[in-house]
Structure 1
Amino acid sequence: MTLLEAEEGREYIVKGIATEDDELEAFLFSLGCYSGEPITVVSRMRGGCVVSIKDGRYNIDTDLAKAISI
């Protein structure tokens, strides 16, 4: 299942990032989004969603949400 299919307010564990872009993977890692870390969809909006990772909230677009498997 991907982050795009996640329920709002429920905590999930990141299983992996499906991308060939090393810079994007490094960026997500710097946010704390990597395998084994908890992630929560706070809200959905047109074109993406707001997620909570560690102590931060981030806006994730639809394409990126599809790449994060939970």
Structure 2
Amino acid sequence: MTLSKAKMNKEYTVNSIAGQEDMVKFLFSLGCYEGEKVTIISKIASNYIINIKDSRYGIDEQLAKIIQVA
């Protein structure tokens, strides 16, 4: 399932990231890569606040849709 369909405050593991190369590189720079744990802290409109490695980041729905989690 994609991160955009995930439940809030539940920890997920990133399975893959499938998107344009620049988007994948951006997420990798945040520490979001295969095998990493990610949690949605909040969702406001089409923006997500996520927690990766004890850091919080804001991403839009387009980025959340390319992150596959389990």
Instruction: State the TM-score, normalized to the length of structure 2.
Output: 0.92
Task: Name the % identity.
Answer: 46
Structure 1: how far apart are the matches of 2:47 and 2:29?
Answer: 20
User: Does the aligned pair in 1 maintain the 2:3–2:67 contact within 8 Å?
Assistant: yes
Question: How many residues were matched structurally?
Answer: 69
How many Å apart are 1:63 and its aligned residue? 1.0
Under a length normalisation based on structure 1, what TM-score does the superposition of the two structures give?
0.92
Q: After the TM superposition, which residues 6-25 of structure 1 pair with which residues of structure 2 at under 5 Å, given as runs? A: 6-19=6-19, 21-25=20-24
**Is there any run of 5+ residues in structure 1 with no aligned partner, and where?**
none
More strand by share: 2
* Structure 2 residues without counterparts, runs of 5 or longer: none
1:39-54 equivalent positions in 2, closer than 5 A: 39-54=38-53
Q: Deviations over 1:12-60 (max 9, x none)?
A: 00001110x2222111111110000000000111112110011211111
Q: Secondary structure at the match of 2:33?
A: coil
